[in-house]
Copies of this chain bind each other. A is one copy, B any other.
């Protein structure tokens, strides 16, 4: 790769060279795609494939692998065998997909690798390929809207003794944050799922588009959103326990944010939410720090384990319903209808006397990003009001 970079650099004054994989360069003609198919928005800027069909919601994949014996695409719980042509180019077309974002992998002779035609999306603890399936109006709320003001996502490193390293967070500030330099804002802490990282809500979730839209329409109040990692990358001399992440959130991150941004610091102006394992981390963090958070949401992340009862789960936080009701303005519980739902737990909570529970179902979606984009879009308008 570096060889390619070097050789290109030495001829760069004459223009640009083409990558190994099929693609287009600015000014070049695009490779002719099958009727109805366009390059996915998640592709690198040169790649025509994967291509997506907005009408059929199918994806087509292409991999150049002349000497491989078997190449497959692994997408949404199904492995597709690819077919090789006489030039060693493998292709396949997927079944119709749920719109929104999906991780996928290419299997080359059994080894799961990233498709080099897409941007990288950290999921399942590796930089994975991803594909955005477009469709009609579903996604308007998560698409970039050029006609409204936009917030900024700030990439920040701060020192963490627990990590023995600098720790990376992303912080969304709403449009107008710089201009309104005396305004203070409420803060939502928003956590990704297992195997993802602090970039997930931006890259896979398109949270900035969602929040820009909600705030511009007056549906949500302008707020700061802090996106930390739910994992602990350490330097190799340091070992930590995974439970330390809730300590980082409560004791390390909140003071740093309140020092660094113009926040409102009382509990009625602080919320936390997370998806999947991030929902569990939200419960662990909030229920152990009820004096710090006034609002919470779990997206595909709230379940009763076998043997749990409302009385004893989470160290008995729900036992005294009246006390819980007084402390928590909102317990938002969301799920996709095509995954294991927490409906029974929600009903048990309500029966036990827990008020301020809002239950949201994303119709027709599973444990996937469309569920969570929809959940954020429902949750954010409910908080800080």
Contact = CB atoms under 8 A, between A and B. Distances in A.
A68 B109 contact: yes
Interface string A51-80: 000000000000111111100001111000
B30 A124 contact: no
B103 A1 contact: yes
A16 B242 contact: yes
Nearest to A275: B9
A19 B126 contact: yes
A377 B39 CA distance: 39
Interface stretch (A229-237, A263-271, A317-325): A229-237
A68 B208 contact: no
Contacts of A156: 150, 152-153
B367 A5 contact: yes
Contact of A144 (B69, B105, B159, B181): B159
A47 to B, nearest CB: 8
Contact of A26 (B41, B109, B242): B242
Interface string A1-20: 11111101110111111011
Contact of A193 (B5, B21, B126): B5
A30 B157 contact: no
Interface stretch (A114-122, A218-226, A287-295, A349-357): A114-122
A108 B113 contact: yes
Interface in A352-372: 366-368
A136 interface: no
A195 interface: yes
A272 B344 CA distance: 60
A125 interface: yes
A239 interface: yes
Contacts of A44: 122, 125-127
A120 B124 CA distance: 14
A46 to B, nearest CB: 5
Q: What DSSP secondary structure best describes chain A's contact surface? A: loop
B154 A158 contact: no
A120 B121 CA distance: 9
Given A153-B155, A240-B27, A109 B109 contact: yes
A5 B195 contact: yes
A155 B203 CA distance: 11
Contacts of A109: 65, 67-69, 108-109
Given A5-B124, A111-B108, A12 B231 contact: no
Contact of A242 (B20, B27, B194, B208): B27
30 contacts: A1-B124, A2-B75, A3-B74, A3-B77, A5-B124, A5-B193, A5-B194, A8-B195, A9-B276, A9-B277, A9-B339, A12-B277, A12-B301, A19-B126, A25-B242, A26-B234, A26-B239, A26-B240, A26-B244, A27-B241, A44-B122, A45-B231, A67-B69, A111-B113, A116-B127, A118-B127, A127-B127, A144-B165, A155-B155, A155-B170
